[in-house]
Amino acid sequence: MLEALGLEPAVEVVYRALLDSPQQGIEDLCRRSGLTDTAVRAALDQLAHLHLLRPTGPDADTLRPVNPGVSLSALYARRSASLTRRQRQLEEAKESIAALAAEYGESRQDFLPEVAECLDGIDAVRERLEELAANTKEECLSFVLGGAQRPEDMSAAKSLDELALERGVSVRSIYQDSLRNDATTSGHVRWLNSLGSETRTVPVLPMRMIIVDRKAAIVPLEPGNALKGALVLHSPGAVAALVMLFEEVWKNASPWGVPLPKDHRGLGPQERELLRLLAEGCTDEVAARHLAVSLRTVRRLAADLMTRLQAHSRFEAGVLAAREGWV
């Protein structure tokens, strides 16, 4: 339950054991948790690093848990601030990609094939994706933008996904949280996961993206318009940067099949992201596009948040949420 805060399951087991009985030694913790001596010591080191444990005295060698109401709230605040910074970086990356596409859009024929290739139109993109999927050997990473996916897109990819997974290709995908509300897309994801694919979700993604074998990355020419076409990047530096971006988002995403985590105020990731958008002055329409939900859903969520914050407008709700430390 605390994995979103950086506590791996084994570390959380040790932490909860110490909260139940702070005086336990290494042997007691091993017996209670079922972990090895090495694993317990590693867990204690991580808990101390996260400031969830502290020495019992100035010169003491033993550690005791800090009040979880204080320490976990502080840890949540640090992780939330990190996510906010990462979200800003994702938005900057999105703008950089749009600028790159615009800058080179007039000279596409001058691209060096070993650096990048341009695909004009959705048909060209689909053909290239089919070719890349058929030749994938080790790994496929993807950002899947939007909530409900089009049935024709899922149908077109189904046989390729199945063949790749049968070949032992590692498939990891990050969708937006809103897809969890669509039965058809959820069924497709469950089917993929049953074959060995891994899926996580986040409230907002910067763009569509597919990375194949860490050698090629496909990004849209225009982040907001997948029909326009795409760039296939082969430059090792560009692909490595996008892999790092994927891994950072993956690390903070919520695993599929697990309920979205709520903080101590009862706010889920989507609600916190909506508050951030409201604080920036975004309209309901802009917030709906970012979250890939309907305008009605945004208005329902915003009304609930306004009631809880006793705010008279959406912008005031964002400002009050920032003042109260909700975002």
Higher-confidence position of 87 and 226: 87
- If you average pLDDT over residues 158-180, what whole number do you get? 84
Per-residue model confidence (pLDDT) at position 244: 92
- If you average pLDDT over residues 295-305, what whole number do you get? 86
Residue 220 has pLDDT above 70, yes or no: yes
What is the DSSP pairing of strand 139-144 with strand 170-176? parallel
Mean pLDDT, the chain, integer? 79
Report the alpha-carbon distance of residue 201 to residue 185 in Å, rounded. 13
| Identical topology for domains 3-66 and 84-255 | no
Higher-confidence position of 51 and 150: 51
Give tens-digit pLDDT for 98-122. Answer: 676 666 555 444 555 567 788 888 7
What are the b/e assignments for 160-178, b being 16+ CB within 10 Å? bbeebbeeebebbbbbbbb
Please say whether the beta carbons of 199 and 189 come within 8 A: yes
Least reliable range by pLDDT among 113-127, 159-173, 297-311: 113-127
Report the alpha-carbon distance of residue 53 to residue 35 in Å, rounded. 19
Q: Kindly indicate the confidence band of residue 243, based on its pLDDT and cuts at 50, 70 and 90.
A: very high
Per-residue model confidence (pLDDT) at position 293: 85
Q: Kindly indicate the confidence band of residue 270, based on its pLDDT and cuts at 50, 70 and 90.
A: confident
Residue 71 has pLDDT above 80, yes or no: no
Per-residue model confidence (pLDDT) at position 188: 83
Q: What are the residue boundaries of the structural domains of the chain, listed by start?
A: 3-66, 84-255, 269-323
Give tens-digit pLDDT for 126-157. Answer: 888 888 878 888 899 989 887 667 766 676 66
Per-residue model confidence (pLDDT) at position 141: 93
Q: How many CB atoms lie within 10 A of CB 243?
A: 15
Least reliable range by pLDDT among 23-37, 145-159, 202-216, 272-286: 145-159
Residue 28 has pLDDT above 90, yes or no: no
Per-residue model confidence (pLDDT) at position 200: 92
Please say whether the beta carbons of 202 and 249 come within 8 A: yes
Per-residue model confidence (pLDDT) at position 103: 62
Per-residue model confidence (pLDDT) at position 125: 81
Residue 247 has pLDDT above 90, yes or no: yes
Q: Which fold has domain 84-255?
A: Endonuclease; Chain A (3.30.870)
Per-residue model confidence (pLDDT) at position 61: 57
CATH for 3-66 is 1.10.10.10
Q: Is the pTM of this model over 0.75?
A: no
Q: Which of 81-95, 107-121, 293-307 has the highest mean pLDDT?
A: 293-307
SS3 of 306-323: the string is HHHHCCCCHHHHHHHHHH
Residue 203 has pLDDT above 80, yes or no: yes
Per-residue model confidence (pLDDT) at position 187: 85
- If you average pLDDT over residues 225-236, what whole number do you get? 82
The top-level CATH class assigned to 269-323 is mainly alpha
Phi first, then psi: what are they for 305, rounded to 5°?
-65, -40
Residue 234 has pLDDT above 70, yes or no: yes
Q: Kindly indicate the confidence band of residue 2, based on its pLDDT and cuts at 50, 70 and 90.
A: low
Least reliable range by pLDDT among 14-18, 130-134, 238-242, 313-317: 313-317
